[in-house]
């Protein structure tokens, strides 16, 4: 297996490096809100901590035929590219949400991974005519 900094040939498996930007923003951004709305600030910060845990434990691996989702070293889900109809990364300048549609379902994932490498892998392995 290669890492996100290795060669980007579609035949290789690429594991995306985690990105802690979104969780950190959600943990620290509501701090000023604590004075005005402590419950709202707490809920946002707790959600940020949850996403931090997810960024620490979940890994996306782009294989030759599918996007595999791992928790630690255990495969929890595989999404074959042949079933994908569309994908999109929302707000490319500040990527926070990754969407993809399969034949029978729609998926939304927070961007807890290297967003540039995510974009590169998607364009190489699952090109979508837009």
Read off the pLDDT of each residue in 3-12 and give the average, rounded to a whole number.
51
Residue 12 maps to a domain: yes
97 found inside a domain: yes
CB atoms within 10 A of CB 9: 10
State the CATH number of the domain containing residue 83: 2.30.29
CA 28, CA 63: separation in Å to the nearest integer? 35
Between 92 and 121, the higher pLDDT residue: 121
Query: Does any domain span residue 35?
Result: yes
* 109 falls within a domain: yes
Is the pLDDT assigned to residue 77 strictly greater than 90? yes
Residue with tokens 């995510």: 118
Is residue 117 situated within a structural domain?
yes
Which range of residues forms the domain containing residue 11?
2-125
Indicate yes or no: pTM above 0.85: no
110 found inside a domain: yes
DSSP for 52-111 reads HHHHHHEEEEE-SSEEEEEETTEEEEEEEGGGEEEEEEESTTS--EEEEEESS-EEEEE-
Q: Which of 78, 85, 83 is nearest to 63 (CA)?
A: 78
Residue 130 lies in a domain: no
Q: What is the pLDDT of residues 49-73, one digit of tens each?
A: 999 999 999 999 999 999 999 998 9
Given a cut of 70, whether residue 8 has pLDDT beyond it is: no
Residue 4 has pLDDT above 70, yes or no: no
If one counts the domains in the chain, the total is 1
What is the percentage of the chain residues whose pLDDT exceeds 90? 79
């Amino acid at each position: 297996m290669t890492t996100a900094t290795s060669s980007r040939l579609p035949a290789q498996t690429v594991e995306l490096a985690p990105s802690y930007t979104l969780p950190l923003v959600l943990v620290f951004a509501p701090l000023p809100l604590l004075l005005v709305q402590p419950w709202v600030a707490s809920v946002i910060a707790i959600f940020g901590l949850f996403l931090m845990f997810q960024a620490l434990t979940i890994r996306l691996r782009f294989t030759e035929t599918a996007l595999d989702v791992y928790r630690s070293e255990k495969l929890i889900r595989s999404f074959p590219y042949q079933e994908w109809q569309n994908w999109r990364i929302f707000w490319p300048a500040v990527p926070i949400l990754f969407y993809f549609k399969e034949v029978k379902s729609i998926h939304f994932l927070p961007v807890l991974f290297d967003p540039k490498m995510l974009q590169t892998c998607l364009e190489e392995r699952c090109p979508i005519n837009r």
